[in-house]
A and B are shown apart, each in its own frame.
Chain A
Amino acid sequence: MAPSDKAIATDGAGVATARMPSIETVMQPNAATMLARRILGHRSFMVAAIIMAGLILTAIFAPLLAPHDPLDQVLIRRLIPPIWAEKGQWEHLLGTDMMGRDYLSRMIYGARVSLLIGFCAMMISGVLGTVMGVCAGYFGGRVDMVITFLLTTRLTLPVVMVSLALVAVVGGSLQTVIIILGCLLWDRFTVVMRSATMQVRSLDYVRAASAIGCSTRRIIFSEILPNILGSLLVIATFEIAHAVLLEAALSFLGLGVQPPTPSWGLMVSEGKDYMLFEPYLVMLPGLAIFTLVLAINLLGDGARDIFAPENRN
């Protein structure tokens, strides 16, 4: 403030850094390398990512990987146990089910159903929930009141009951399950996006953007969304897991994916009658569901650590 202060103005932007640019470029890696380093250094995230990549590749290349047609019934070859059991056969590595269908092939095709339902239901609910949450958080007031009302209404509905009732009315199929789950699972997206938007919206850079004259659309898409993407990603992974589990539950109850489509939940359901004598019929698809959900959850946890470390509890 006093004139003499000008003399000691050794600027952070000036002298010290400008003199040795080479050292600084070495010391300060760019954002992409930092991110890559954080991802590679996160062990559980990497393990989950590898499992997920394996499952996704399996689902995509199912026709190439499956040794048999998953729908092909050979009744004289029913209930052959997996290869590690005494009567196992190399032709059916994981044995066959009560209809004589190759269990490994059904498991491989089952990954398709689970992942498809998980991703699609998440996409639908994600779009619905994010739009509602961001609108509620950004516009506030009446908009917020209406959306919060919808949200509490949705939260009073038990998901499994409502989806069971709806499937019973409409009739179960892959598409109906995806649409019903998509329309029921948006609550968490809305809750999180609403509060994240409210938080970001009150920051000065949003105010600066509106003082610059940015349109509302521009403010939402280029100032707010990039800053809440981290939490969006975390919720998205959890909702995939949620949808996978719900699909399994619905299929187990006979109201999800309809036979003979191979779905892990349906396989558990079909195998339950033989559970005491042929436990692998239940254990194998159960293990698959468990692995998928665990991997997705670990992925979500890791994503939270990597993208939004400040949100860790």
Chain B
Amino acid sequence: MSGKSIDQQLIFELSRPGRRASAQAPKALPQQALANIPATLRRKQKPGLPEVSELQVVRHYTNLSTRNFAIDKQFYPLGSCTMKYNPRGANRAAMLPGFLGRHPLAPESHSQGFLACMYELQEFLKDVTGMQGVSLTPMAGAQGEFAGVAMIRAYHEARQDDGRTEILIPEAAHGTNPATAVMCGYKVREVPVNRDGDVDLEALKAACGPQTAGLMMTNPSTCGVFERQIDAIAKTVHGAGGLLYYDGANLNAILGKVRPGDMGFDVIHMNLHKTFATPHGGGGPGSGPVGVSERLKPFLPTPIVGKDGEQYRWLDTDDLPQSIGHLSAFMGNAGVLLRAYFYARVLGREGMIRVGEYSTLAANYLLKRLQAIGCTAAYPERRASHEFLLTFASEARELGVTAMDIAKRLLDYNQHAPTTYFPLLVPECFLIEPTETETKETLDEFIDAMEKILAEARENPEMLKGAPYTQPVRRLDDVKAARELDLVWKAPR
């Protein structure tokens, strides 16, 4: 006996020789099929797959799924990530047999329905962001960022404006931005943020010059506040000959209300897995379309869907010779794009405005109520966008209770913890994003849990250090896990 309960065992540990699940067992290959494979390429041993019954498989994975924290089970206020509900209807529509069975390289004449959906999604994203062109091809937010900065680079190169070597990034930008700039061959210069969470405009003016290729900004920022000087920032960067990049991480807050194109941004990436409610987490697949202003349109990654009369067709590098080219084998994550398309069609323009309004209303309600029970806001003078920052620096100093202790205790109250310790410029912080899809009752449950935990922190701080107590696992040693990374399971011989 391993001492583990059945549902703690790996599926491999449940294996017994000769046990089969007939529904999943591969059909025996005819000898002829094997004969077509050269002897040197045939495997000598059977693959080390678990031998289990069908019911064991069903029960094993059903049990595992119940041990997870997930948006289908719990409130999931993970700031910066926009963990909103993914409507089931969009999933169903994207799984219509005509979409599921369509070969990616099927002739355009056989794909007019799919191409029409993609064309309309491009048009819709242009409209909601105020940009002049959109390409859907980036496979995730990170690839969207890469495409965006690659276009900035292509633009300067096409003008033979070769001295631009720096990308400016405010402290409160999204964490991936510096990595993207470096991947595209730029040096990163950080711009400080003042005490209200706005960019330090004087420092930005001092940092801008003939070496400036562009500025990457997240607005609202990861401080959870809207950058009020965006007009002056755009003028400053454009005045120096640089371009403005909009990181779409926090687009949810302004959806239908303010458009990045109207703020002066030249290029934007959108995270469809955040703002447009396609599945998120579990490693994706994500989707990170890019939108551009007029002057960057020639550089958009291909393929893009175009329309000649009533016929839709792929536009590729023949049509867009200055394009930065393909980013993957073909055209992006078709299934994810379809889900975003249906989500957009169901909401319509009015629905988009409600996304912005309800997500900021939920965040501000939560912020005010949490302040009333004794939580400290990082920017008490500012209205929250769709997310906001709390700091537990005084609890850490006076009670020895850290943001992490409180986060772990929230799990005992059946609440997914918010994002912790990000952004780094606010000590002992929570970044909380409720999204527009939660009811007031759910928000109130979170507030009740926080009130109980703050009382526990005062009365019994030692108890919080051991949390969680009710979960399948207790407090994990994340330092040991990172220092002694071990991801490989080996079968006992």
A, B from the same assembly: no
Interface, chain A (partner B; CB < 8 A): none
